[in-house]
Amino acid sequence: MEWNRSETLALAKTGCTQCHGDGLRRGRQGKSGACNCVLRAIFRACYARFRYCASKEKYMSKVTLTFCAGKDRRLTWVRRDEDYVADFCLVSRRTLDEFEHKVFRFHFLLGADWKLCCRQMKIDRGTFFHAVYRIQQKLGRIFRELEPYSLYPLDEYFGGKVRRFEVSAAPTAEPGRRALAPPLRKIA
Q: Tens digits of per-residue pLDDT, 66-76?
A: 777 667 677 77
In this prediction, the residues of the chain whose per-residue pLDDT falls under 50 are: 162-167
What's the pTM value of the predicted model, to 2 decimals?
0.75
Condensed to tens digits (0 to 9), the pLDDT of residues 108-149 reads 999 999 999 999 999 999 999 999 999 999 999 999 888 877
**In three state form, how does the secondary structure of 94-133 look?**
HHCCHHHHHHHHHHHHCCCCHHHHHHHHCCCHHHHHHHHH
| φ, ψ (nearest 5 deg) of residue 18 | -85, -45
Q: What is residue 8's predicted lDDT score, i.e. its pLDDT? A: 79
Q: What is residue 167's predicted lDDT score, i.e. its pLDDT? A: 47
Greatest alpha-carbon span in the chain: 82
Helix (H, G, I), strand (E, B) or coil at 146: coil
Residue 25: which region, alpha, beta or left (left: phi > 0; alpha: psi -120 to 50)? beta
* Residue 168: DSSP 8-state: P
Q: What is residue 187's predicted lDDT score, i.e. its pLDDT? A: 60
Element (H, E) at 34: strand 32-34
- Cα distances from 111 to residues 12, 77, 83, 131, 159, in angstroms, run 26, 32, 21, 16, 29
